[in-house]
């Protein structure tokens, strides 16, 4: 198998852009919801407004240019073509940092933090940034067989960093990227200097531990999440192929399935545009649509949901908790992650910190990795 790393540029053919606009114009809409909020899902008026913006005002070529302004590459790992951004810092002592996205995200989620990470005011805080697309996501290949759970992705990321010549590096992950990063640390043989996670998971310790008000509130919120927000996960972890037919055929279906989660999981006052501009939402949706990843991106749920070992991690760890994201009790996390060096409960923010609170995320990464360099 080739270990070569080749340059890559994103280009969506004009006919695919025209095809998207045609499909949007031909949408068959459902009736409006029977409530005055989002409790039945994305409201019809919001959907029509966002779709009209996608069709008439959103500029994919601008996003394409933003992607292509960052060096991009592909390489074969474990039989699969993997796409990644690789932005090297101009500062020679920069620390390599692997940044992993989750669902419904893509590498576009991190475009606005690459500059501050690679070229900070203080060169001592500089990183070389590597952002891979998960298997079945974005511009990576789609597995043609089963057997790509989180642990295999973690092994692929370790291989990737070695192939790039990095034998000492840090890692940051959100959503599934958080699980992948933790899985890398479970089997780390000295390459990882530290990991920074949002939404880390752990099982309750064998011995009962005292829980404070934040811990109890976090557990209550997670229980409510499973009851009110867990439907998408149940479908993707059991029938990703069936879901894929509808979303791969309908750009509006793809948009509604993804954007509803950005609305539900972000920290806003009812106006999502104030927190995540609609162009950034449509970046993620457009990547999913043009690459037809509805089924392939959902399969990581089928492969890994409720099947993770959640083994002990001894690598130095930082945790960033955002109020609209999942939060497990600190004692549970520290029982699994045995070397927690930094724990931050942020006042604002949600599941997508690189989009919602990029400055806070960048500062957290700088502060955590500063003493580990």
The rounded distance, in Å, linking the Cα atoms of 83 and 130 is: 10
CA distance 267 to 326: 12
pLDDT for 2:
74
SS3 285: helix
pLDDT at 127 over 70: yes
Q: Is residue 5 in some structural domain?
A: no
Tens of pLDDT, residues 97-108: 999 999 999 999
Query: Residue 206 — pLDDT band, cuts 50, 70, 90?
Result: confident
pLDDT tens column, 308-341 = 999 999 999 999 999 999 999 999 999 999 999 9
Over residues 159-165, mean pLDDT: 97
For residue 144, is it within any domain?
Answer: yes
CA distance 75 to 131: 13
Residue 7 is assigned to a structural domain of this protein: no
Residue 1 pLDDT class (50, 70, 90 cuts) = low
Is 355's pLDDT higher than 90?
A: yes
Residue 337 sits in which domain range? 42-372
Does 208 score more than 90 pLDDT? no
Condensed to tens digits (0 to 9), the pLDDT of residues 262-299 reads: 999 999 999 999 999 999 999 999 999 999 999 999 99
Percentage of residues in the chain having pLDDT higher than 70: 100
DSSP string covering 315-358, please? Answer: S-EEEEE-TTS----HHHHHHHBTTEEEEEE-SS--S-HHHH-H
Residue 20 lies inside a defined structural domain of this protein = no
State the CATH number of the domain containing residue 303: 3.40.50.1820
Question: Is residue 269 assigned to a domain?
Answer: yes
Is 321 among the domain residues? Answer: yes
Per the domain annotation, does 277 fall within a domain? yes
Instruction: Report CA-CA distances (Å) from 240 to 151, 252, 256, 297, 298.
Output: 20, 18, 16, 9, 6
| pLDDT mean over 130-134 | 98
Spatial separation of the C-alpha atoms in residues 219 and 217, rounded to whole Å: 5
pLDDT band at 346 (very low <50, low <70, confident <90, very high): very high
Alpha helices in 26-107 (DSSP H): 44-56, 60-68
Task: Judge whether 9 and 74 are in contact, CB under 8 Å.
Answer: no
At 2-60, the pLDDT tens digits run: 789 999 999 999 999 999 999 999 999 999 999 999 999 999 999 999 999 999 999 99
Cα gap 152→145, rounded to integer Å: 13
Tell me how many domains the chain contains.
1
In a domain, 246, yes or no: yes
How far, in Å, CA of 41 to CA of 261, rounded? 9
In percent, the amount of the chain with pLDDT more than 90 equals 95
With contact defined as beta carbons under 8 Å apart, do 294 and 247 qualify? yes
């Amino acid at each position: 198998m080739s270990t070569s790393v080749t340059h890559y540029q994103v280009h969506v053919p004009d006919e695919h852009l025209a095809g998207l606009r045609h499909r949007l114009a031909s949408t068959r809409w459902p009736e409006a919801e029977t409530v005055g909020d989002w409790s039945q899902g994305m409201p019809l008026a919001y959907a029509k407004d966002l779709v009209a913006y996608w069709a008439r005002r959103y500029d994919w070529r601008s996003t394409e240019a933003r992607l292509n302004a960052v060096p991009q590459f592909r390489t074969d790992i474990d039989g699969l073509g993997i796409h990644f951004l690789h932005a090297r810092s101009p500062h020679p002592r920069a620390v390599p940092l692997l940044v992993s996205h989750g669902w419904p995200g893509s590498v576009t989620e991190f475009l606005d933090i690459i500059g501050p990470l690679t070229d900070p005011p203080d060169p001592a805080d500089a990183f070389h940034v590597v952002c891979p697309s998960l298997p079945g996501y974005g511009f990576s290949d789609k597995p043609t067989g089963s057997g790509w759970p989180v642990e295999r992705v973690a092994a692929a990321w370790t291989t990737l960093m070695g192939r790039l010549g990095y034998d000492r590096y840090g890692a940051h992950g959100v959503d599934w990227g958080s699980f992948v990063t933790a899985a890398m640390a479970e089997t780390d043989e000295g390459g990882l200097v530290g990991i920074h996670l949002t939404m880390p998971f752990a099982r309750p310790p064998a011995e009962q531990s005292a829980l404070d008000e934040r811990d109890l509130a976090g557990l209550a919120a997670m229980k409510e999440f499973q009851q009110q927000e867990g439907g998408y996960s149940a479908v993707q972890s059991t029938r990703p192929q069936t879901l894929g037919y509808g979303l791969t055929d309908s750009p509006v279906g793809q948009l509604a399935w993804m954007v509803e989660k950005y609305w539900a999981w972000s920290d806003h006052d009812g106006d999502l545009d104030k927190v995540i501009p609609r162009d950034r939402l449509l970046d993620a949706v457009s990547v999913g649509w043009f690459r037809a990843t509805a089924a392939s991106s959902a399969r990581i749920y089928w492969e890994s949901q409720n099947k993770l070992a959640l083994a002990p991690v001894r690598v130095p760890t930082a945790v960033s908790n955002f109020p609209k994201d999942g939060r497990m009790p600190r004692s549970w996390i520290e029982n699994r992650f045995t070397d927690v060096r930094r724990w931050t409960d942020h006042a604002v923010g949600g599941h997508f910190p690189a989009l919602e609170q990029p400055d806070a995320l960048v500062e957290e990464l700088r502060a955590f990795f500063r003493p580990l360099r």
